[in-house]
Amino acid sequence: GGFVFSSLLKRRPDLGAGLASLRREVSEEAEAEGDELKVWKMRDLGLQAVAAIKDAKDPLRRLAEIASDFPVHARALSKLKVPPGLRRQVEANYMNRALRAGMLGGGADTLFVNGRAINVGLSTLNLFSLLQLIRSETRL
């Protein structure tokens, strides 16, 4: 199934410009859908999403849009350039937090809430304390 544009044009020559435009749009969409997102283009998707959210006029709305249907946004995000400063900041944050939590050696079950390391191992996790901490952090 599909459109036979030559038949449509013969039947309705008065719609020539509109049919040509529709044909271009349909073929462009078909080409875009056929393109697979290559692995090397997905390498920085997280950072690209952060950059898009950070640069948005309404960051919370942009976060909700991206998070609600990430695969739809992945292709457009993969074309964004990651600012070098953002990459350095994320790497520095990761290294600082990982070192403070002792994660670089053997690893640990750790959750970070505004830079505070919380051990979330099954034997030590207290959900009530965690909820209380999150509530106190949101008040700051």
Please report, rounded to a whole number, the percentage of residues in the chain having pLDDT higher than 90. 19
3-state SS, one letter per residue, for the chain = CCCCHHHHHHHCHHHHHHHHHHHHHHHHHHHHHHCCCCHHHHCCHHHHHHHHHHHCCCHHHHHHHHHHCHHHHHHHHHCCCCCHHHHHHHHHHHHHHHHHHCCCCCCCCEEEECCEEEECCCCCCCHHHHHHHHHHHHHC
Q: Express each pLDDT in 2-13 by its tens digit.
A: 778 888 889 998
CA distance 66 to 127: 28
The model's pTM is: 0.48
- Mean pLDDT over the full length of the chain: 80
Q: Is the pLDDT of residue 125 over 70?
A: yes
Q: Express each pLDDT in 71-109 by its tens digit.
A: 888 888 988 999 999 999 888 877 776 666 555 444 557
Helices 59-68 and 70-78: crossing angle in degrees, nearest 10, is 110
Q: Which of 20-24, 56-60, 61-65, 120-124 has the lowest mean pLDDT?
A: 120-124
Mean pLDDT (whole number) for 124-135 = 82
Q: Express each pLDDT in 24-41 by its tens digit.
A: 877 766 655 556 777 777
Question: What integer pLDDT is reported at residue 98 of this predicted model?
Answer: 60
